[in-house]
Amino acid sequence: MSSQNLKDRTKKYAISILRYLDKLPNKYPYSAINNQLSRCSMSVGANYRAASRAKSPADFINKLKIVEEECDESMYFMELLMELIPSDKKELEILYKEGNELLSITVASIKTARKNNP
């Protein structure tokens, strides 16, 4: 997958989550989850873009580690929503699957970068 394809995919991921979150009730605990999930899902793409402009292999790896953390955090908040709103489970599973795929790609990229830049 090219860098541009992954940039597009991470942006689409954030937009899909934001569209889902727009449907949530504007009350606690949904508002707290909405805030956290919107931030970390958008951070996936933003930090991937930053990694694409890294100044060194070490900088690239560090920025990808942030992408990894933000993907995992996004998945955690989606797990909470699946428990809180069982009727949304199917829709959330699709978003969760994409987050997991992005996480797998990121972890593989980190391993490759470490292997190529010991």
Percent of the chain's residues with pLDDT above 70? 98
**Residue 9 scores a pLDDT above 70:** yes
* Residue environment code for 52-71, b if the CB has 16+ CB neighbours within 10 A, otherwise e: eeeeeeeebbebbebbbbbb
Residue-range domain boundaries for the chain: 3-116
- Looking at residue 116, its pLDDT comes to 83
Amino acid at 116: N
pLDDT 10s digits, 64-106: 999 999 999 999 999 999 999 999 999 999 999 999 999 999 9
HEC assignment per residue over 40-92: HHHHHHHHHHHHHCCCCHHHHHHHHHHHHHHHHHHHHHHHHHHHHCHHHHHHH
**Residue 117 scores a pLDDT above 80:** no
pTM (two decimals): 0.91
Predicted confidence band of residue 4 (pLDDT cuts 50, 70, 90): confident
- Looking at residue 1, its pLDDT comes to 61
Alpha carbon distance 11, 5 (integer Å): 10
What dotted CATH number matches 3-116? 1.20.1440.60
pLDDT 10s digits, 32-59: 999 999 999 999 999 999 999 999 999 9
Q: What is the mean pLDDT of residues 11-17?
A: 98
